[in-house]
Structure 1
Amino acid sequence: MDNPIEHLQQHLSKLTEAQRKVADYIIKHQLDVAFLTVDQLAREVQTSTTTIMRLASNLGYSGYTEFQKRLQENLRNQSAPNTRLAANIKGMEEDDLWGKYAEHQIANIQDTVDMISREKLEQTQQMIVSANRIICTSVRSGLPVVQYLTHGLNRLFGNTNLIVADLSDWVDNIVDMNENDLVIVASFPRYARRIIDLAKTAQANSVPVISITDSYSSPIAAHSNLVLPCNSSSIAFHNSAVSSLFVADYLVSALAINYSEQTKGRLDKVNAILTDMDYHSVRRTD
């Protein structure tokens, strides 16, 4: 049985702008879409039923009904593992802000897992491993994500630098990069113009771009070779970095495990230096 969400993600680049808007809504609201009629979905997305029907047809389904049936089957197969956890959190008191926050972030992470396929994660790892130089960049709420990613990737490969786009003259860094390098950007609402300009310039120089953003309809997606959508909603006013940090941490862990032969030598050397520093910094008390 095919996974309609993965199928949708794999065909995003071939969709029209209107169809991408529908696809983005489906990916982020799978449970709702599984029980919406085509007319109801059209109203939710503010598009036409014709656009939705054409989307289903472009994905290889006979129509919206068949797509929805596959989506329902996929959701049934996924629902069992987190039933206990969801039930425990649902039992918390209404005034338990900590519990509500945990519930919200768990839902965010699950949304993110649903939106990013294993194939896309594997492709991300291959692009990182193949790059001669890597630049990670963001501003504001995306900055902790790329800071964490820069530290992890540089520890593994020694070829990654951080650019704070609002503070750095990034043109000097991008101008010498080529198709053998890589730019990783994190961009969340309100999307910074400077980040979009950086990604656009990188692609103009044939530099591959991976974006970590909140949706496939994000303006940064149009200037990215690969998009990793992460649910950034919070229970307050801000963009939450929890889901995107979850993805960043996964990538660092997966690269260390899947490419251990390439990373072990460097990690051993770094560890030896840090261990020696710790040893000599401890004063003897006897």
Structure 2
Amino acid sequence: MNINSSQDLMRLIQVKFPRLSKGQKLIAEYILKNYDKAAFMTAAKLGISVGVSESTVVRFANELGYSGYPKLQKALQELIKNKLTSVQRLELSNDYISEENALKGVLKADMENIRYTLEKINHKTFEDVVNNIFKAKRIYIIGLRSSTALAEFLAFYLNLILDNVKIVSNGISDIFEQMINVGEGDLVIGIGFPRYAIKTIDALAFSQSRNAKVVAITDSLLSPLASQADYTLIAQSNMASFVDSLVAPLSVINALIIAVGMREKDTIAKTFNDLEAIWKEYQVYSHNKNNNDEK
């Protein structure tokens, strides 16, 4: 089942309401009033909050057309993740991550994000993106707010392989001034996850209006970045708390860098040989020495 908006899901619950059992109606009423909280409750916890059994919660999800409660929970999370403030995220995270289990909870959540990404990402689209990277006259990479680190990571490594990569960022000049020459034959890679940065969306729309090819690295085909892109690479980024989970997006970006690098092995080998000499000459990296060497 695919539900695309909160209005659709809320409307579905309202339509189904008359045919629900007494216990299921209690669940429906709770979700309609508190869907932001319900999205992060297990079936058991939701049942306790409402006063029904866990099995009643599962049957409620089935009644709505979902194969199980996790599917309904995921739909609820999709509805709210772009609307929650950081404070609301922090408050909700207290329900399922505590200080005592933060390490285990976050690592498990990140593992789940990678697993979902591996299942959902379109391999043909990935190959198309790699091909377009090589065909592009110029490559612009933009990712703002929490996605800045991802954009800079991608740009850093692509710059070691290619000589036509430009990072677009918040700075002295406006992003549109940095993209003034974008046009046909260019490739623009936009990176963004909830809460989506408006300037990134606008930059992708601007690029399309100038006939550049646009790639979005984002969390869903329903993302506003995807609506402005020719190619969309999906990476799961369900939040663990007030911090965005960028583990799966970084893995996808790593895969892009490696795929590009595999086609340019000779260039990379020469580049890194030159860099090693420069790094050594200018002592860019620390070299461990034993005590006998330090005299």
Shorter-chain TM range is 0.5 to 0.7
Contact 1:185/1:211, CA 8 A, preserved across alignment: yes
Give the alignment's TM-score, normalised by structure 1.
0.63
Give the aligned partner of residue 175 of structure 1.
180
Give the aligned partner of residue 80 of structure 2.
none
Give the aligned partner of residue 227 of structure 2.
222
Matched, 1:246 2:229: no
Q: For residues 198 and 246 of structure 1, what CA distance do their matches in structure 2 show?
A: 24
| Superposition map of 1:53-132 within 5 A | 95-132=100-137
SS state of the match for residue 111, structure 2?
helix
Name the aligned partner's letter for residue 199 of structure 1. L
User: Residue 153 of structure 1: which of 138, 153, 158 is its match?
Assistant: 158
User: Residue 202 of structure 2: which of 181, 186, 197 is its match?
Assistant: 197
Task: Name the count of aligned residue pairs.
Answer: 210
Q: For residues 134 and 63 of structure 2, what CA distance do their matches in structure 1 show?
A: 43
SS state of the match for residue 219, structure 1?
coil
Name the aligned partner's letter for residue 274 of structure 2. K
SS state of the match for residue 4, structure 2?
helix
Q: Deviations over 1:138-161 (max 9, x none)?
A: 211111110100101011112212
Q: For residues 172 and 256 of structure 1, what CA distance do their matches in structure 2 show?
A: 30
SS state of the match for residue 40, structure 1?
coil
Tell me by how many angstroms 1:279 deviates.
Answer: 9.0
Q: Deviations over 1:162-220 (max 9, x none)?
A: 11247641222322122222111111122221111110010111111111111110011
Give the aligned partner of residue 21 of structure 1.
4
SS state of the match for residue 185, structure 2?
coil
SS state of the match for residue 242, structure 2?
coil
SS state of the match for residue 255, structure 1?
helix
Contact 1:137/1:163, CA 8 A, preserved across alignment: yes
Q: Deviations over 1:238-259 (max 9, x none)?
A: 3211111111111112221233
Contact 1:196/1:219, CA 8 A, preserved across alignment: yes
Tell me by how many angstroms 1:134 deviates.
Answer: 1.3
Q: Alpha carbons of 1:109 and 1:279: their partners in 2 closer, same or farther (altered >3 Å)? A: closer
Q: Which runs of no fewer than 5 residues in structure 2 stay unpaired? A: 10-60, 77-98
Displacement over 6 Å in runs of 4+: 279-284
Q: For residues 19 and 220 of structure 1, what CA distance do their matches in structure 2 show?
A: 19
Q: Which runs of no fewer than 5 residues in structure 1 stay unpaired? A: 1-17, 26-35, 47-93
Give the alignment's TM-score, normalised by structure 2.
0.62
Name the aligned partner's letter for residue 200 of structure 1. A
Matched, 1:40 2:49: no
